Structure 1
Amino acid sequence: MKMRKIPVFILTGFLGSGKTTVMLNMLQHCKSMNATPGIVLNELGQANVESHLFQREKMVELLDGCICCTVKENLIEELALFLKKENEVDVLLIEGTGIANPKEIVEALKDPALMDRFEIQSIIGIVDCSKFLEYGSIFSSSKEIRDLLDEQLSASTLIILNKTDLVSEKVKGKAIKKIQKLLQGQTKTIETAFGKVDMDTVFKKRAGSFTVPAPDQANSRHHKEGHHHPFQAIKMENVPAIERASIEKWLHALPENVVRGKGIVRLKREGGLFQFQYASGRSHFTRLACEEKRETCIIMIGHRLPVKEMKESFRRLVLKTASS
């Protein structure tokens, strides 16, 4: 008897584009349709500070590495868990890190042990409209970032142009024009803010057969050595209660090559734990609903980070204020 294949939707997009927000909206839609979703979350850092958002879900976390290199074998192993009767799901959502090439996720799903049980429906590329032109410019971005953006976009079967509320019509028009030029107008692009998109559009099957080219020797060497990209994550643990104004001042003084930040912090005066997000040059704090055992930490992600200087400025601008 032929076994049912689990439909898979892959979410890709650069750091801070809004992948998790789109995934949360997709999860809500699945539940409204009485479908049981499974989730694979991949984080570049050593902790997933957003795991509380998915506490009741059937979830696999791949931490401290990118699907496209150091944890690919783990992905193949972990996906097998969804094939067990007690973990059966109706649909699988995979969110790669902001630096993952989705073609590598496709390659993992084409492993002989998995390809007859999972079927890719769509690769959904999420783009931060407020940063896209900057990241794609030879004057303000590195070749590694530009190449990565091109890889993520060219592999996508649907493009979600997110955060359009942060830009003018002129900037949005330029971003759309650049995307259409890269993709030759062959990939559907939808505009949105806060990841709010029509779910019938998102869940439409758009993927046919995928061909994954064999990596050349240079790429294979880079994968083994783990040096195929210049991105890194730094983590600051056991952060004491801090002033909101102090951490906001620190965040907005960070160098431009810091492109993403997230964490769990305790704010003075306001009391309680807060999750913070930093992307597109903006910070946002959300009070955690429950006071479960959550360690405070701050994770910053970027390329060629000045780690020593960042930690020193954190001590000077945030920790000294916290202790005073």
Structure 2
Amino acid sequence: MKKIPITIITGFLGVGKTTLVHNMLKNANDKRIAVLVNEFGEVGVDGELIKSGCGDEECNMIELANGCICCTVQEEFLPSMLELIERKDDIDHIVIETSGLAMPKPLVRAVSWPDLKPHITIDAVITVVDAVGLATGEICDREKVQKQRLADDSLDHETSIEELFLDQLTCADLVLISKTDLIDDEELQEIEGVIKEKARTNTKIIPVTNGEIDNGLLLGIEASAEDDLDNRHSIHEHHHEHGHDHDHDDDINTLIIEYPETQDIKQLVKTLNQWVKDNEIYRIKGFVNIPDKPMRMVLQGVGSRFDYYFDRNWKHDEERKTRLVVIGRCLDAQALEPQVESSLL
């Protein structure tokens, strides 16, 4: 019985996973790809963007909203996969986009569950790394001060973000370095060196821009990762083996900001930039309603970098409003929401 190949797309918040999946679907060349999207937060921004990229064709997609495919992977993942398996005659490939806070190894392990193993196999785990992102910068900076940290036992040697980043790297069959247009050749070489040191031997590394890469390099890798679990080290699993609970997202929460409309997108971005300066915010994304404009605006923010563009017309049956998801550590809704309200209204 032929198994359906699965590609797992993982990486920290805002690295460009959704853009990559969007391009994979756009360049499918008649390959029937089903997509499973797992988001952190109540608003399915990534899933909606993928749907909008399907155009007039029906988008074969399932959304999960638990945000962290980890110890609780069975709660939503198993039923969703069984649903896809029931339609396997209409599916050539499955792509799973994890949330930016998810570890890929529990997914790889889950493929060996008795109900799934006869039907699916992991074609590859692809980890996307933001060339100028939080996780990358932290890893590089920590390399430079490693001697100092080793000399001082009071300093943590691994932050929760670094642990998550390393788990995503060590599980990868392929690493894509995104947003390479924002760095020079010397910085790219430094990042590639860090990845080679942290990732498994012979893990292929490819720089990309705007998530544009030939599907021939992404699909058909045939890694059968579920049969290679022992070589994919996980700090998370190591903690559990020693009786420690993982805490990579215990303090990370989301805020949902909603307003009828946004008169000035530049003023909105200015306000959000101030939020980022004053708080530990990793990701801001959502949709913006510009009055007198027939098209919906998409807003994407990673750190202090913001991008906004119109993607499609508002539909007749959807409510026009500005709705943003803010993801960060220990965010205080009562303190932050009035800032936006006073600035925008």
C-alpha contact 2:11 2:127 (8 A) present in aligned 1: yes
Provide closer, same or farther for how the CA distance between residues 168 and 280 of structure 1 changes in structure 2, counting only shifts above 3 A. farther
Amino acid at match of 2:103: N
Amino acid at match of 1:59: M
* Distance in 1 separating the partners of 2:72 and 2:271: 31
Greater Cα shift, 169-178 or 98-107: 169-178
C-alpha contact 2:173 2:223 (8 A) present in aligned 1: yes
**Residue segments in structure 1 that go unaligned for 5+ positions in a row:** none
Match of 2:228 among 210, 214, 222: 210
* Distance in 1 separating the partners of 2:122 and 2:281: 32
Q: CA deviation at 1:64?
A: 4.0
Matched ranges for 1:181-260 at <5 A: 181-183=197-199, 185-208=201-224, 209-211=227-229, 215-216=240-241, 218-219=243-244, 229-255=250-276, 257-260=280-283
C-alpha contact 1:133 1:175 (8 A) present in aligned 2: yes
* Distance in 1 separating the partners of 2:163 and 2:248: 15
* Distance in 2 separating the partners of 1:303 and 1:294: 30
Give the count of matched residue pairs: 310
TM-score by length of 1: 0.86
Match of 1:68 among 64, 67, 70: 70
Amino acid at match of 1:123: V
Provide closer, same or farther for how the CA distance between residues 83 and 230 of structure 1 changes in structure 2, counting only shifts above 3 A. same
Match of 2:114 among 112, 118, 123: 112
Provide closer, same or farther for how the CA distance between residues 50 and 99 of structure 1 changes in structure 2, counting only shifts above 3 A. closer
Q: CA deviation at 1:268?
A: 4.2
C-alpha contact 2:8 2:95 (8 A) present in aligned 1: yes
Give identity over the alignment, percent. 25
C-alpha contact 2:122 2:223 (8 A) present in aligned 1: yes
Q: Does 1:135 align with 2:135?
A: no
The residue that corresponds to 1:311 in the other structure is 337
The residue that corresponds to 1:160 in the other structure is 176
Matched ranges for 1:263-274 at <5 A: 263-268=286-291, 270=293, 272-274=295-297
C-alpha contact 1:4 1:117 (8 A) present in aligned 2: yes
* Distance in 2 separating the partners of 1:60 and 1:233: 22
The residue that corresponds to 1:95 in the other structure is 97
Q: What CA deviation, in whole Å up to 9, does each residue of 1:25-58 have, x standing for no partner?
A: 211232x1x2211110011111212434343211
C-alpha contact 2:38 2:97 (8 A) present in aligned 1: yes
Q: Does 1:80 align with 2:98?
A: no
* Distance in 1 separating the partners of 2:335 and 2:7: 39
The residue that corresponds to 2:152 in the other structure is none
SS in 2 for 1:233: strand
TM-score by length of 2: 0.81
Q: Does 1:42 align with 2:38?
A: yes
Q: CA deviation at 1:199?
A: 2.1
Coordinate RMSD, CA, aligned: 2.5
Q: CA deviation at 1:289?
A: 1.6
Amino acid at match of 1:116: P
Provide closer, same or farther for how the CA distance between residues 283 and 239 of structure 1 changes in structure 2, counting only shifts above 3 A. farther
* Distance in 2 separating the partners of 1:69 and 1:272: 40
